[in-house]
Chain A
Amino acid sequence: MADSNTDQTPVHPSEAEGIAREPLVLNNRSMGWITNQICGIVENRQPMVWWVVFVPSVLLFGLLVFTLVHLVSTGIGIWGNNQPVAWGWAIVNFVFWIGIGHAGTLISAILFLTRQKWRTSVNRASEAMTLFAVMCAGIFPGFHVGRFWMVWFLAPAPNANAIWQNFKSPLLWDVFAVSTYFTVSVIFWYIGLIPDLATLRDRAKTFLPKFLYGFFALGWRGANRHWRHYEMGYLLLAALSTPLVLSVHSVVSFDFATSIVPGWHTTIFPPYFVAGAIFGGFAMVLTLMLPVRKLYGLEDMITAKHIDNMAKIILLTGTIVGYAYIMELWVSYYGANKYESDAFHLRILSGPYTWAYFCMFFCNVIAPQVFWFKWSRHNLWFVFIIVNFVNAGMWFERFVIIPGSIARDFLPGQWGDYSPSWVEKLMFLGTFGMFLMLFLLFIRFLPVIAASEVKGVLPESDPHYPEWKRLREKRREASEA
């Protein structure tokens, strides 16, 4: 293999001059360095900043628990659902969080199938983020059903009343979609974690970490007879998760699109919601990973190239979302449905939430357009500010769609303005606490970057690397002679 001796011999992508891709791990880091750097985060003391964020997060989480206990023990009435706009912040926040929970599986599944190797340094953290976001999302509809202790009625189980669920209802589809998504995401995340848990097990010095990491690593031995099934399993999970991630937000959008409420009843919803979810999810990934990368010295693994790529995806999906906004307006203008055109007239011109519409439009469509310029994708403060615009914008999007549409229904008698109750406000704030708390615990106890995958994208991980290297030497000698 190594002794064909012409200039036409192909060149290893990491060696080619001119067309070489940027290395995924900078500064020629070794595999040992990667292990130390990633496991070090778990093994060493956490920096002060970790505590500074963790303590308030736990307090906010406590507030969430308090609010929920108070809500259930007092009665669902204090939520403020007894008004025309019954699907207020509760469903806004559900859709907001579930949307954030889309980037993780996108990165781990779709980018895996499309062989985007840069995914390796961000997939673990974004999958974790996905799980935590879906947990936050689940709280809202779970309690919004009213009698939380009757939530098991959502599952098709035989019961004394001989009643069965209505499988024709999008709300039940949603139950299946979200719970399947959560379960499959947990599986995907855990399967990916096993080799890294084995690394932590082999490095652990005291009993408890050794026992716990060892328990969850299942006795992983890194054997190639294992890896070949493991790789097949991972590929299959990626192939299963790809349509799954697209289906989840489509089904969430069916909750709205299959109803007849003007402003909801549109066929554009599924693709528009999916694009929006990926958009908002990537924004949250960047919001979390920019500080983490800085704080734990991961700049060689999460490089400017990674941030650049994610900014480009935000630009793409943001533009798709912008197209959807404009197309919605166009269809309501061009279509013959009076209620639709009135709904959109109220939405952008004279309605009570016009301000929210323009906040949304600016944050989601206009702000990310700066990512066309390279300097903006490489200025990290700038990226951080823009992605937070996106985070806010995606919340406003759901606010515009949900209360914005049902506040002005078919009959003026059904109209009413919406103001959130304190329960809603505290719950929303509390889920942020829960989300951050879980993410910080994840950083503390689990490898935040998939070490085994990052090792696999180093140039020397290729078993033919020395042959390529020899070829290069030969070529250099030939050109010098």
Chain B
Amino acid sequence: MSESTDSSKQLFGYVAEFSSAADLYHAAEKVRDAGFRKWDVHTPYPVHGMDAAMGMGKSWLSALVLAGGITGSCVALFMQFFTQVNLYPTVVQNKPTNLFTLPAFFPVTFELTILLSAFAVVFGLLVFLMLPRWNHPLFESALFRKFSDDGFIMVIEARDPRFKKEKTREFLETIGASQIEGVEY
């Protein structure tokens, strides 16, 4: 639709709309099998099984969060032992000021483990998703913006090695796209 011939602009990719989650899912399988790399689907909610249809594995955010949790436990234990045993030993509640005070340190250790794991989730997510990114060529496309309402959108980017201006468009048509738009930037 908006394929103007402004020579200063170049094609970012094709935005294609599919009529349902099921159509998009089967189309994704075909795009995966055709060997495209720089493409994605954009949906209002996470479509179940789409990771497999796109040929993607497990998210390793969990590993980062484990590291966050371990850091939290260590920081908490260090902070408590160092301040209670070394810096400022006080005998209160008849509890000793040595390593055997451990049981009294569990609640804070637990809380900090959770806190730093949760921070790892947030900051890990931002890194993994490369967000925030407030400006993106796709936001120029009204068709693309339907993803946040009820649109099932697929985008194949022009920088994909298999991308060919006419052929990719035809390919998207054959796999069932109901509407296709070229996005420039």
Contact = CB atoms under 8 A, between A and B. Distances in A.
A219 to B, nearest CB: 4
A463 B50 contact: yes
Q: How large is the interface on A (under 10, 10 to 19, 20 to 34, 35 or more residues)?
A: 35 or more
A221 B112 CA distance: 32
B44 A166 contact: no
A227 B40 CA distance: 11
A221 B138 contact: yes
A163 B84 CA distance: 10
Tell which of A170, A177, A224 has the most Cβ of chain B within 10 Å. Answer: A224
A335 interface: no
Interface string B151-170: 00100000000000000000
A464 B125 CA distance: 29
Contact of A224 (B41, B111, B115, B126): B41
Contacts of B92: 166, 168-169
Q: Residue among A35, A202, A222, A452 with the most chain B CB within 10 A?
A: A222
Interface string B117-133: 11101101110110111
B90 interface: yes
Nearest to B115: A180
Interface in A279-313: none
A246 B22 CA distance: 39
Given A164-B87, A218-B131, A223-B41, A240 B21 contact: no
A234 B180 CA distance: 32
Interface residues of B, number: 71
Contacts of B122: 187, 191, 233
Contacts of B11: none
B171 interface: no
Contacts, number: 213
Contact of A233 (B25, B61, B133, B145): B61
B93 interface: yes
Interface stretch (A12-20, A361-369, A370-378, A453-461): A453-461
Interface in A197-227: 198-199, 201-203, 214-215, 218-227
B136 A165 contact: no
A406 B21 CA distance: 61
A219 B51 contact: no
A32 interface: yes
Contact of A453 (B22, B45, B139): B45
Given A184-B114, A224-B40, A254-B107, A236 B121 contact: yes
Contacts of A452: 44-45
A232 interface: yes
A274 interface: no
Contact of B111 (A169, A225, A247): A247
A227 B50 contact: yes
A463 B47 contact: yes
Interface string A1-37: 0000000000000000000000000000011100100
Contacts of A166: 84, 90, 92
B43 A460 contact: no
Given A166-B92, A236-B65, A222 B104 contact: no
Given A31-B149, A222-B43, A463-B22, A187 B118 contact: yes
Contacts of B43: 222, 224, 227
A125 B168 CA distance: 44
A382 interface: no
B174 to A, nearest CB: 19
Contacts of A460: 20-21
Contact of B88 (A164, A202, A254): A164
A241 B95 CA distance: 30
B179 interface: no
A269 to B, nearest CB: 14
A466 B114 contact: no
A184 B116 CA distance: 10
B148 interface: yes
Contact of B149 (A32, A224, A227, A236): A32
Given A233-B61, A463-B53, 20 more contacts: A32-B150, A35-B149, A156-B83, A168-B92, A169-B92, A170-B107, A177-B111, A184-B115, A187-B122, A201-B148, A218-B126, A219-B134, A224-B40, A224-B47, A233-B122, A452-B44, A452-B45, A461-B48, A463-B25, A464-B25
23 contacts: A31-B149, A164-B87, A167-B80, A167-B84, A167-B108, A176-B107, A177-B111, A180-B114, A183-B115, A191-B121, A220-B131, A226-B129, A230-B125, A230-B129, A231-B59, A232-B61, A233-B121, A233-B125, A236-B117, A251-B107, A455-B44, A456-B45, A463-B48
Interface of A: 30-32, 35, 156, 162-170, 172-173, 176-177, 180, 183-184, 187-188, 191, 195, 198-199, 201-203, 214-215, 218-233, 236-237, 240-241, 243-244, 247, 251, 254, 451-453, 455-456, 460-467
Please list the 7 inter-chain residue pairs (A to B) with the smallest Cβ-Cβ separation, ordered nearest first. Answer: A463-B25, A31-B150, A456-B45, A218-B132, A232-B59, A164-B88, A173-B107
